[in-house]
Each structure stands twice: as C-alpha cells, then as structure tokens.
Amino acid sequence: MSLLSDLSEVLEPLNIPIETGVFSGVLPDEYLVFIPLTDIFEVHADNRPGFDVQEVRISLFSKGNYQQRKKQITTALLNADFTVTERRYIGHEDDTGYHHYAIDVAKNYGLEE
C-alpha cells in the first residue's frame, strides 16, 4: 500500500492536476504537488513493528482564492480516513503569482506477516 497512490485516488475527483515531487510541464492556475515526508514504523511488539506510518505534504498552488480548494481537499481527506497532521499557509510567491498552502497527511498501514 502507498499513501501517494491512495491520495491520488481520493483527490482525483476534485479535477486538480497532481504531480509528485515537482510539477512538470506548463503550469496551470491551480495544481497539487505531493512531497513524501516520512515512513516510520510504529507500535512495536516483540521487537517487530506493527504499522508502517506514511506521511506526505500536499502542496496546493493557486493563483486565485485557495480557501475553497483547501476546504474541499481537507473534507475529502477526512472523509477517506486520512489523518491531517498540519495545515498552513506557506506564502505568496511574488515571482510566480501563486499562493502556496500545505496540508500534511498521514496514514497507518498494517504490516503483512
């Protein structure tokens, strides 16, 4: 299981272009970039991890008002049982005209024996 693929599946219906790492090609007025943050093992028993916790930063870039998209993304994530660990406005990029808003999400995946 991969948090990146699960996020893509949940957020595709919002019709926002999505890339991982960096956006390639011609930039639209609004897009998402997924940046993997951590893969950690949690809940140990008998020196073996019980869960793989994956965390990704979703960066929303928008030339317009990002507030509505922020709400749509957050609602979709919470409805799909993702843990939203942080949301923050990063700033306005004066050279590109984009607002940058970050949403960090995590999900626990059980490890197969």
Within the chain, residue ranges assigned H as helices are 3-11, 67-79
pLDDT band at 39 (very low <50, low <70, confident <90, very high): confident
Q: pTM value?
A: 0.89
Cβ-proximal residues to 41 (8 Å cutoff; 6+ apart), any chain: 49, 51, 52, 53, 111
Q: What percent of the chain has pLDDT over 70?
A: 95
